[in-house]
A and B are shown apart, each in its own frame.
Chain A
């Protein structure tokens, strides 16, 4: 079945630094990838939709200059948290979709970001 690899699984960084999270579709081409974050006891919140070869679409309230998304190929999307602050500490999850339909959703294993 479809596999999405997300890396790293855990990262601790200092406040003010940038962190890059990668999301790769291993055995299929993902035309669309989604980035979510989850705070404790909260639902998965969609941050942005990433389409291969075009700019990402950000949800209301998500700072596009802070959360940089690049979807340069059909198998790779990256999320860079720039100038990270402790309040950015969260669980970030990507999901990938093939063309058309909801059946194509596959989630990565998530990245636990801790900003100290």
Chain B
């Protein structure tokens, strides 16, 4: 039982490049989330999903896209990376209803030069 896993763990991009972060969970959770963590800003929600095939915007969605084609996977895409997107990205999942405990992945450290 791996819980929540994220791929890759580290990545360096040049401005304008694109990439996709993969999140996978094996707990059969309905809800999945993408956050970014920046010093002094805490965790900010980028996008979230309440079920397969559904996505919704969080606090800071600009410059990101997401997809949830399978219940266990939640993809975060950066179409044209910018230095402001340098951050640590965390994926999380929870059972249905948002007041349930969220289980977090180990994070992806992304640097955009």
- Answer yes or no: are A and B bound together in one complex: no
